[in-house]
Amino acid sequence: MSEPAAVTIKDMLKKKQILSSGHRMCAGCGAPPTIKLMGMALRGPTIVCNATGCLEVATTIYPFTAWKIPWIHVAFENVSAVASGVAEAYKVMTEKGRTKHEHVDVIAIGGDGATFDIGLGSLSGALERGHDMVYMVYDNGAYQNTGIQRSGATLPGQETTTSWAGRLEPGKRQRKKPIAEIVAAHKIPYVATVTPYHHRDFITKFRKALEVEGPAFIHALSPCPRGWRSESGKTMELAKLAVETGIHPLYEIINGEQYIMSAPSKNLKELTPLDEFFKLQGQFKHLYKPEWEDFRKQVQANVIADWELLKKKCGV
Amino acid sequence: MATKSKTPKHPVDIEGLTGDAAIAVALRQCDVDVVSAYPITPQTIIVEDFQKFAANGETHTKVIPVESEHSALSACIGASAVGARVATTTASAGFALMWEVLYCAASMRMPIVLAVANRALSAPINIHNDWSDSYGGRDSGFIQVYCQSCQEAYDTTIMAFRVAEDRQVLLPIMVCIDGFILSHNVERVEMLPDETVKKFVGVREPFQNLDPDNPITLGPLCLTDYYFEFKEQEDRAIRAVPEVYKRVEAEYEKLTGRSYGLLEKYKTDDAEIIIFTHSSPAGTAKAVTDVLREKGEKVGVLRLKMFRPFPTDAVREAVKNAKAVVVFEKCMSFGAPCNPLALELRTALYEAERRPLVADFVIGLGGRDVPPETIVQGIEKTKDYLKKGKAPMYETLGVRK
Amino acid sequence: MSEKFNEIPMAGNILKPGNATEYKTGGWRAERPIHTDETCLWIKNGTCGRCWIFCPDNAVRLIEKEGKYSYAYDYDYCKGCGICANECPTKSIRMEGE
């Protein structure tokens, strides 16, 4: 089975890429680097199941596909179910002597829409059944593919086309679903949060996810220049800031109980103010109007409170 | 019923089985690789019986106890895409929930066998038989067949894998039985030995499957410049089904002495009035036919087995000399000129040289009992319409109005 | 695209992995990255490589040949997003209008 994960630049250059150039993701999109890093962690034959969304649509516009490994898309809310079927089928066909490989790694990928919202039921079912698969969500904070509509992953204060900022509203009011903890509550072996900026951390964690027996979950933040109204060149900088401001802390949860904070978060002496993160994005611009000052301060206070609670859980 | 041509060669096992149990046995014998299903009345026994077989090692199958019907069919697609033989089963609201995925399964050309225990759709919620669930999937691209007896359910489930997996077809197939009326009623079923069935269905040969040694992309985005061509392909595939079905059934007949055809003609050759229906009302209609024939009335039953693809030519041929065709159907298509089965028939007859009078009777919705009296009532009304030379587009029978 | 229904594989299946390379996304660019060898750490000793890691389009070429390192862009696919320029630790990349 095991090809080693490629973590150093020299190793990464040698490892076979799973996504080719020529895909039509936006310039500066955080998702393709996420897939590239996932590819660096692979250990052998792999099948990818993809939910409807930006990644699926822009990498497979008929007659072109950017995928160099087996890949299937069926619908929006069912990628976990499709992956369950793939995993069990390969297993039983191997038992019956009808496959060429002893094992295949099955990866399900969905955006925040497919994962936090419409596909949450299907995800929960797959987690409860305990299939040996990795689920990765590339979280760009809204239903970006259909034109920037709010999702359960949209942050409070974030403006989208279904959570406008206006006279009465400061963008979305509700908090973001704590998806990593929701998933971890199923007591699956491994859950981790990652960003494409922290590439070593990403590859190491993804490899761990592949290696555990049973379901594993990777929550990847994927900045979106179009939806976030940020400069396309700032994508990685935004991913870094998301960690530094406590918006997307990096940690692992083992067996749903043991919390381990990762170095980039652990080493923070204190959180960078959210303003540093917000000011690079047009979608938070309205929060700097006087009428939303209290709201913005509350959002900042909540991020700090969540961070303190997380530190406690991690024993930091 | 089934045409008996000769005594079967192999030793058979005869048991009283319900429709659900018969389908479960057939699935067990067909070496299904993956079953992913969600229970819903009245199909639950299929899932339960099958899971029991699996738990006892009587079948080497991965059973995925999914959390919804939408996931059930989705997991089947994933499994089928790897090259596995897969099956699932549902009814009513569960069928409605997987409706989106029906279209995906057919367009992705996944040879999945779906057993449907026909049950009414909500609202109001009702657990009894009518055909509104599977009729709702008639445009999905699934092959659709209806069974009148538990024996036929057993036989058809076995043949279904061969038809679906045929390289000319590669389409999913729905095997439908009336909920409770067939699913829960015990009838005599002759079963083939395990080895015989296993040999008959063989091993599925994957085609364009998910294979790390040959990485392909399944289910891409297809824009205006290509989508239509894939639908053309699907259309050609479903039109290939009757030939494949006949071939498969001929082989099956050699093993069992039984065959059903795409439709069954019961005393229709010289019939003046032909009843057109399927599933359990066909059985009732045959009993009524026998009684009426004794009285000298020239009545017959045309029992449809294959609804999709609809055997237009065969139906036209079978009714061409009748004066009237009486449709009995357990489904209402609100706002349509008439209801689904009659719509199909009238369309099939539109180009015919001689068009018999067609009467459309909606019966048995929500499991309303369809006793022989209802059939007789429909026939009497039709005789009346024949005198007048005109029948209403449709009417309901057996409802308090 | 002019193929008939029976001239393409069934069901939308795409049988050629990675054939997206036939579509040159370089045409999207409004600016292009320009690289300076002198300050680049990859050129110096085969380290860093962040531009390659972060590039969403595999448009950075880090070449090693007989102990010597060189650098190139694949302008057929570079969309000019500017991530490489933004992340280069030695400011060896600048963006210039097309």
Please tell me whether residues B109 and B137 are part of one structural domain.
yes
Cis omega (within 30 of 0) for bond into B123 = yes
Q: Which residues pair with A73 in a beta bridge?
A: A50
Q: What's the token pair of residue C97? A: 């209008």
What is the chain C residue with the closest CA to A70? Answer: C17
Last-in-domain residue among B225, B258, B291 = B258
Whether B217 and C10 lie within 8 Å, measured CB to CB:
no
pLDDT tens per residue across span C14-69: 999 999 999 999 999 999 999 999 999 999 999 999 999 999 999 999 999 998 99
| Mean pLDDT, range B202-206, rounded to an integer | 96
Neighbouring C-beta atoms of residue B296, cutoff 10 Å: 6
Sheet holding B357-362, edge to edge: B263-266, B299-304, B273-277, B324-329, B357-362, B395-396
Contacting residues of B for C3, CB less than 8 Å apart:
229
| CA trace torsion B146, B148, B150, B156 (10° rounding) | -40
Q: Which candidate from C8, C13, C14 shows the least CB-CB separation from B229? A: C8
- CB-based contact B150:B19 (threshold 8 Å): yes
Give domain status of residue A239, yes or no: yes
Q: What is the pLDDT of residue C1?
A: 76
- CB-based contact C81:A38 (threshold 8 Å): no
What is the chain C residue with the closest CA to A203? Answer: C53
Query: Under 8 Å CB-to-CB from A20, ≥6 apart: which residues?
Result: A66, A67, A68, C17, C18, C19, C20, C21, C58
pLDDT tens per residue across span B233-247: 999 999 999 999 999
Whether A61 and B219 lie within 8 Å, measured CB to CB:
no
Contacting residues of C for A32, CB less than 8 Å apart:
56-57
Q: What is the pLDDT of residue B197?
A: 97
Q: Which candidate from A73, A92, A122 shows the least CB-CB separation from B219? A: A73
CA distance C87 to chain A (A): 7
Q: What is the pLDDT of residue B2?
A: 66
Q: What is the pLDDT of residue A300?
A: 98
CA distance B30 to chain A (A): 14
Please tell me whether residues B349 and B386 are part of one structural domain.
yes
Interface test mutation site (partner C, options A7, A21, A74, A235, max chain C beta carbons within 10 A): A21
- Which residues form the domain of A117? 9-314
Tell me: pLDDT of B12 over 90. Answer: no
**CA atoms of B299 and B390, how far apart (whole Å):** 19
C20 near B CB under 8 A:
no
**Alpha carbon B235 to chain centroid, angstroms:** 19
Indicate the average pLDDT of chain B: 96
Q: What's the token pair of residue A260? A: 């381990």
Whether A66 and C20 lie within 8 Å, measured CB to CB:
yes
Q: DSSP 3-state assignment of A243?
A: helix
Q: What is the pLDDT of residue A1?
A: 60
Residue B182 DSSP code = T
Please tell me whether residues B141 and B55 are part of one structural domain.
yes
Q: What is the pLDDT of residue B383?
A: 98
Counted across chains A and C, CB pairs separated by less than 8 A come out at 123
Q: Alpha carbon of A246 to those of A42, A266, A270, A300, B111: distances in Å?
A: 29, 11, 9, 10, 49
What is the chain B residue with the closest CA to A84? Answer: B75
Neighbouring C-beta atoms of residue C53, cutoff 10 Å: 26
Please tell me whether residues B327 and B244 are part of one structural domain.
no
Give domain status of residue B350, yes or no: yes
B219 near C CB under 8 A:
yes
Q: Which candidate from B34, B81, B216 shows the least CB-CB separation from A92? A: B34
Contacting residues of A for C57, CB less than 8 Å apart:
21, 23, 32
- CB-based contact B303:B261 (threshold 8 Å): no
Say if strands B143-146 and B173-178 run parallel, antiparallel, or are unpaired: parallel
CA distance B212 to chain A (A): 6
Q: DSSP 3-state assignment of B278?
A: coil
In chain B, how many domains are there?
2
- The values of phi and psi at residue C75, to 5°, are -70, -5
Contacting residues of A for C76, CB less than 8 Å apart:
21
Matching residue, tokens 């369950």: A84
Q: What is the pLDDT of residue B16?
A: 96
The pLDDT confidence band at residue B7, using thresholds 50, 70 and 90, is low
Tell me: pLDDT of B74 over 90. Answer: yes
Give domain status of residue B95, yes or no: yes
CA distance A24 to chain B (A): 12
CA distance B329 to chain C (A): 34
pLDDT tens per residue across span B99-149: 999 999 999 999 999 999 999 999 999 999 999 999 999 999 999 999 999
Q: What is the pLDDT of residue A14?
A: 96
Whether B216 and C17 lie within 8 Å, measured CB to CB:
yes
Whether A70 and B216 lie within 8 Å, measured CB to CB:
yes
CA distance A195 to chain B (A): 26
**CA atoms of A56 and C34, how far apart (whole Å):** 31
Last-in-domain residue among B231, B258, B285 = B258
pLDDT under 50 in chain A at which residues? none
Q: Alpha carbon of A228 to those of A140, A273, B21, B178, C55: distances in Å?
A: 9, 18, 56, 54, 19
**CA atoms of A55 and A60, how far apart (whole Å):** 8
- CB-based contact A97:B60 (threshold 8 Å): no
The pLDDT confidence band at residue B3, using thresholds 50, 70 and 90, is low
In chain A, how many domains are there?
1
Last-in-domain residue among B234, B258, B282 = B258
What spatial distance separates the first Cα and last Cα of chain A, rounded to whole Å? 37
Contacting subunits of B (3+ beta carbon pairs below 8 A) = A, C
Give domain status of residue A3, yes or no: no
Please tell me whether residues B137 and B204 are part of one structural domain.
yes
Q: What is the DSSP string of B337-391?
A: SS-HHHHHHHHHHTT-SS--EEEEEE--GGG----HHHHHHHHHHHHHHHHHT--
E strand intervals along B172-227: 173-178, 187-191, 217-218
C1 near B CB under 8 A:
yes
- Which residues form the domain of B361? 265-396
Contacting subunits of C (3+ beta carbon pairs below 8 A) = A, B
Say if strands C60-65 and C68-73 run parallel, antiparallel, or are unpaired: antiparallel
- The values of phi and psi at residue B260, to 5°, are -125, -25
B77 near A CB under 8 A:
yes
Please tell me whether residues B152 and B127 are part of one structural domain.
yes
Cis omega (within 30 of 0) for bond into B311 = no
Q: What's the token pair of residue A301? A: 């206070």
The pLDDT confidence band at residue B181, using thresholds 50, 70 and 90, is very high
> What CATH code is carried by the domain that includes residue A235?
3.40.50.970
Q: Which candidate from C5, C13, C14 shows the least CB-CB separation from B229? A: C5
> What CATH code is carried by the domain that includes residue B178?
3.40.50.970
Give domain status of residue B193, yes or no: yes
Residue B210 DSSP code = -
Contacting residues of A for C47, CB less than 8 Å apart:
9
Q: What is the DSSP string of A42-69?
A: --S-EEEEE-SSHHHHHH-BTT---B-S
Whether A73 and B220 lie within 8 Å, measured CB to CB:
yes
